[in-house]
Amino acid sequence: MLDVQQITVRFGGVVALNAVSARFDKPVSGIIGPNGAGKTTLMNVLSGFVSPSDGAVDCDGQNLLTLAPFKRPHWGLRRSFQKEEIADDLTVFENVLVQIDHSPTGPLSKHEEVTKMLDYVGMSDRANKPGADLNSFERRLTDIAKCLVGQPKIVMFDEPAGGLSVDETHRLGALIKGIHALTGAQTLVIDHDVDLIQQICAEALVLDFGKTIAFGATNDVLADPKVKAAYLGTEEV
């Protein structure tokens, strides 16, 4: 269970996140909100790229904020970015392998682990293709496989459906839904595709201008008038 407590982030005079709190305990949770709401900033806090001026993040007893950013993946944090960051020079296999390069297990078991996850996302037939030759959906799939190797505890996706077709989005959704059964990890998803969020996320956090405006079961949250106002805009709620 991921417990985000009162996270506040200031960039100079701008308050990007204002005492955001949420307890994520469902297998797949969503983070939604209009542009500039602070969703990616929240993920950046979890990844360690941004230091909050206040607040704490706890996951099953581990205080995440005390871990150095590059050590959080060793603990079990996984992250994909809005733009798929796949190295052009490496093959699909090597791109996924990097994620567990520094875990203490032996090379054979790492090999198996990578093969297993590539199988899961359906990229094992293209495992030796260099990153430069992949199309954007293949890159996204490789990204996902990378997030699943090495016993992840929390997997974070930042707009994974960006630029995907309807079919590809469906496939993506199915893959995300299967993560918990496959690895036991909890998933957080930021996306603008409300249908996708409804399909796969049991609960959702809605941010606007850095503040929490709703948190709870997805359908309840989407029906909340405050949420509708944030997306569509009204004079005052």
Partner 1 sequence: MTVSGLKNWLLWAAIMAALILWFSWGQRPTMVGLFIASGLAVGSLYALGGIGIVVLFRATGVLNFSGGAAGAAGAMTAWQLETWGLWPPLAWLGCIAVALAFSLFYGRIVAPRLAWRETVVKAVATLGYALIILGLVSFLWADDPRSISLPTDGVGIRFLGMRLTATRLLVFAASIAIVIGIYFFLARSKVGLQMRSLADDRDLSALIGIPILRVETIAWGIAGVLAGFTGLMFADLIRLEASVITFMVIPSIAAAICGRLENLTVVLVGGLSMGVIENLLTLSPLLRGVRPIAPFVIAALVLLWYQRGQKLTFGGKD
Partner 2 sequence: MVNTLFRVTPSGWAGMACLALAIFIVPEIVGTRWLSVFTSTGCFALAIAGVAFMYARLGMVSLTQVGLMGVGGWVTLRLNHAFDFPFEVNMGIAALVTMICGWILALPALRMRGLYLALVTLMAAGGLEIMFATFQFPNGGDGFWGVQTGSSDPFRRPWLAQSPQAYMRYVFVCVALGFVFIEIHRRLKPGRAWALIRRSEAAAIAAGVNVTLYKTWAFGIAGLLAGGAGALLAGSLGLLDDGTFRASESVMIFALAVVGGARYWYGAILAAVLFRVLPALLNNWGVDADLSFVIFGAGLLHAVITAPDGIAGQIRDALLSRRKGANSGKGGADA
Applying CB under 8 A, which residues contact partner 2?
47-49, 69-74, 78-79, 81, 85-90, 94-95, 97-102, 107-108, 111, 146
Report, in Å, the least distance between residue 19 CB and partner 2.
26
Which CA distances in Å does 112 have to 21, 61, 116, 168? Answer: 38, 30, 6, 26
Give CA 237 to chain center in angstroms. 31
Cβ 121 vs Cβ 175: under 8 Å: yes
Positive or negative torsion for Cα 104, 58, 77, 182:
positive
Report, in Å, the least distance between residue 88 CB and partner 2.
7
- Contacts to partner 1 from residues 10-49, by CB under 8 A: 48-49
What tokens appear for 51 in the block?
């230091």
List b or e across 108-140, with b for residues whose CB sees 16 or more CB atoms inside 10 angstroms: eebeebbbebbebbebbebbeeebeebeebbbb
Q: Which residue in 6, 25, 69, 166 binds partner 1 (CB under 8 A)?
A: 69
Q: Which does 85 bind (CB under 5 to 8 A by kind): partner 2, partner 1, none?
A: partner 2
CA 156 – CA 57 distance, rounded (Å):
15
What tokens appear for 171 in the block?
């496939």
Q: Which does 19 bind (CB under 5 to 8 A by kind): partner 1, partner 2, none?
A: none
Q: Which does 232 bind (CB under 5 to 8 A by kind): partner 1, partner 2, none?
A: none
Nearest 5°: the CA angle 123, 124, 130 is 70
Q: Which residue in 13, 35, 68, 232 binds partner 1 (CB under 8 A)?
A: 68
Report, in Å, the least distance between residue 49 CB and partner 1.
6
Report, in Å, the least distance between residue 188 CB and partner 1.
21
Which residue lies nearer to partner 2 by CB, 59 or 86?
86
Report, in Å, the least distance between residue 79 CB and partner 2.
4
Q: Which does 67 bind (CB under 5 to 8 A by kind): partner 2, partner 1, none?
A: none
Binding site for partner 1 (CB under 8 A): 48-50, 68-69
